[in-house]
Amino acid sequence: MVKSFQQRNQPVISVDTKKKELVGDAGAEWQPKGQPEEVRVHDFALPELGKVSPYGVYDPTRNEAWVNVGTDHDTATFVVASIRGWWESMGRTGVRVSHL
């Protein structure tokens, strides 16, 4: 089916999610000598910041991908929003869509 759609210049995508990632302020930043800024150096959970869910939309025809990262629950609504975001920013470019 993928090849059939590609031959007719129709969109083909693969949507996937990865594990939720902690949101925090771990890391380092350059500061003047002797004036370090304190930071967290480990991924300790900050409940007030929650976790993010990355959804990737991959277009195998063009070998391009788009990622939507959000704090919403891992729901079908979020998946649809990710596909819509891909379509509006990358998908409709040069694609003629017909109904089956």
pLDDT for 99 = 46
pLDDT at 77: 84
In this predicted structure, what is the pLDDT of residue 45? 63
pLDDT at 3: 93
Distance CA 45, CA 71 (A): 14
Query: Consecutive 10-residue runs of the chain (100 residues): their mean pLDDT?
Result: 90 83 60 74 65 85 86 77 88 57
pLDDT, position 4: 93
Are the C-beta atoms of residues 9 and 59 closer than 8 Å to each other?
A: no
| CA separation for the pair 21, 51 (Å, rounded) | 5
User: Any idea where the domains of the chain sit in the sequence?
Assistant: 2-22+51-91
